[in-house]
């Protein structure tokens, strides 16, 4: 009996010795063995060939190339939606202005200089911050002359802040190159080029687009945006894009580039909402690359560039995906419009020619049902 047990122990010890002495079997687990691979096995398991590395890098590059355009499109769509939201808020403020002002449509421009008398502080002299002059005029444009944006900024109390200014609108710097204390307070004046020059990251302004300007109207670097100058210049690149009001609603028709004065006895011209027969088709705001106003004339609305002296006369900015722009109509609704060629493609020849109804051309596009000019015609046939 003892001999049988001893033989069994000897056989078991021999088996364990064989398992332990075999490196290839040590890695398979089990009782009495280690799982640690040998040095040679570790080198074999971690090897990575150059071809495999190139393949992995190529796959990563391919995925990035696929994802980047999608991310750009998603960002552009997000900015388009944010701009629409800004216009919705503008529409609400416009309706409030009409209700508070005896059914008057918000004017695209105004002139409150004497002898015109109008209750309101838009574009008036503003108190300066301590250490500056007692009162300062607007840094850009004429005193008491402004646009729809100044009216809404003032009446809705959209913001108040001070910033340094020179007479030409450039920031004031001290000897160390730092901004000096502000000398003009934007309380009755909407943010302009001066604001975005000093505060390029300022975005709390619903009166502008959320997409920065990439192709301003003027190629020079000294011009001012409409209506203060001939059109936004290159120094406004990356500033928030403009929304321009249809200057059909200009309450001061004597104003032109550089300003004007009313004739003796001439009064401001306001339009009651009842005078526009089809507000759902009447364009009030559109994306612009020139400024805060746009005249209801063919050239500013020309989608296909018409070059005159090397300047693209089109003022509409098709800044959204697919070369499109946003349009706010008088009834408060917003729509996205793809790029057009001529103003007749938007509203038809009936509204483009005040004298009558010219015959449409053989290749004329079907009008899109929007109206820009001659909105108060008594024979308005509707969209």
pLDDT band at 325 (very low <50, low <70, confident <90, very high): very high
Task: Provide the β-strand partners of residue 334.
Answer: 328
pLDDT at 129: 55
| Six-digit token string for 248 | 């059909």
Residues 135 and 229 both lie in one domain: yes
Exposed e or buried b for every residue in 246-274, given b needs 16+ CB within 10 A? bbbbbbbeebeeeeeebeeeeebebbebe
Predicted confidence (pLDDT) at residue 17 exceeds the cutoff of 70: no
Question: Is the residue at 163 inside a domain?
Answer: yes
Residues 108 and 29 both lie in one domain: no
pLDDT at 94: 97
Question: Is the residue at 191 inside a domain?
Answer: yes
Residues 93 and 31 both lie in one domain: no
What mean pLDDT comes out for the span 134-151? 87
DSSP-H helix ranges across 245-353: 343-347, 349-352
Question: Is the separation of the CB atoms in 383 and 369 below 8 Å?
Answer: yes
More confident residue, 254 or 135: 254
What mean pLDDT comes out for the span 118-141? 74
Provide the residue range defining the domain that includes 235.
86-352
Residues 33 and 153 both lie in one domain: no
Question: Is the separation of the CB atoms in 357 and 363 below 8 Å?
Answer: no
DSSP-H helix ranges across the chain: 2-21, 23-26, 39-45, 50-100, 148-155, 193-198, 343-347, 349-352
Residues 6 and 120 both lie in one domain: no
When divided into structural domains, the chain yields a total of 2
Q: Is 36 exposed, middle or buried (0-12, 13-18, 19+ CB in 10 A)?
A: exposed
Q: What percent of the chain has pLDDT over 70?
A: 70
Question: Is the residue at 370 inside a domain?
Answer: no
Residues 131 and 230 both lie in one domain: yes
Q: How far apart are CA 245 and CA 248, in angstroms?
A: 9
The whole-angstrom distance between residue 65's C-alpha and the CA centroid of its chain comes to 26
pLDDT at 2: 45
Residues 10 and 136 both lie in one domain: no
Residues 212 and 152 both lie in one domain: yes
> Each residue of 60-70: pLDDT tens digit?
998 888 888 88
Q: State the CB neighbour count (10 A cutoff) for residue 164.
A: 21
Question: Is the residue at 60 inside a domain?
Answer: no
Residues 189 and 106 both lie in one domain: yes
pLDDT band at 203 (very low <50, low <70, confident <90, very high): confident
Across 143-147, 266-270, 318-322, 355-359, least confident range = 355-359
pLDDT at 6: 46
Residues 142 and 24 both lie in one domain: no
Question: Is the residue at 246 inside a domain?
Answer: yes
Question: Is the separation of the CB atoms in 205 and 158 below 8 Å?
Answer: yes
Question: Is the residue at 348 inside a domain?
Answer: yes
Question: Is the residue at 61 inside a domain?
Answer: no
pLDDT at 258: 42
Question: Is the residue at 147 inside a domain?
Answer: yes
Question: Is the separation of the CB atoms in 220 and 234 below 8 Å?
Answer: yes
Q: How far apart are CA 354 and CA 369, in angstroms?
A: 17
Residue whose C-alpha is closest to residue 250's, from 110, 53, 381, 50: 110
**Residue 342 CA neighbour count, 13 Å, CB half:** 14
Residues 26 and 149 both lie in one domain: no
Residues 170 and 113 both lie in one domain: yes
């Amino acid at each position: 009996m003892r001999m049988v047990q001893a033989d069994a122990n000897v056989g078991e010890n021999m088996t364990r010795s064989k398992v332990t002495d075999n490196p290839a079997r040590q890695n398979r687990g089990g009782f009495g063995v280690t799982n640690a691979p040998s040095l040679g096995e570790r080198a074999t398991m971690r090897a990575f060939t150059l071809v495999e590395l190139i393949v992995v890098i190529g796959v990563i590059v391919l995925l990035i190339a696929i994802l980047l355009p999608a991310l750009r499109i998603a960002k552009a769509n997000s900015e388009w939606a944010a701009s629409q939201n800004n216009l919705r808020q503008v529409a609400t403020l416009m309706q409030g202005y009409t209700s508070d002002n005896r059914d008057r449509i918000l004017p695209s421009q105004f002139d409150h200089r004497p002898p015109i008398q109008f209750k309101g502080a838009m574009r008036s002299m503003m108190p300066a911050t301590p250490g500056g002059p007692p009162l300062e005029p607007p840094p850009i444009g004429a005193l008491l002359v402004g646009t729809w944006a100044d009216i809404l900024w003032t009446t809705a109390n959209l913001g108040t802040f001070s910033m340094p200014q020179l007479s030409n609108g450039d920031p004031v710097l001290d000897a160390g190159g730092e901004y000096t204390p502000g000398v003009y307070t934007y309380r009755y004046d909407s943010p302009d080029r001066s604001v975005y020059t000093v505060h390029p990251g300022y975005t709390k302004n619903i009166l502008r687009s959320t997409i920065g300007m990439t192709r301003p109207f003027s190629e020079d670097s000294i011009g001012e945006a409409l209506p203060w100058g001939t059109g936004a210049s290159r120094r406004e690149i990356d500033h928030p894009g403009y929304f321009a009001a249809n200057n059909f609603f200009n309450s001061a028709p004597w104003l032109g580039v550089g300003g004007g004065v009313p004739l003796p006895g001439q009064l401001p011209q306001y339009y009651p909402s009842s005078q526009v027969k089809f507000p759902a088709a009447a364009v009030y705001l559109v994306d612009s690359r020139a400024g805060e106003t746009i005249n209801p004339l063919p050239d500013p609305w020309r989608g296909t560039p018409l070059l005159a002296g090397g300047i693209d006369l089109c003022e509409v900015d098709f800044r959204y995906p697919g070369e499109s722009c946003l349009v706010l109509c008088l009834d408060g609704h917003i729509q996205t419009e793809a790029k057009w060629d001529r103003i007749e493609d938007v509203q038809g020849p009936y509204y483009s020619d005040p004298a009558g109804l010219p015959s449409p051309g053989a290749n004329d596009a079907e009008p899109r049902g929007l109206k820009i000019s001659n909105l108060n015609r008594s024979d308005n046939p509707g969209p």
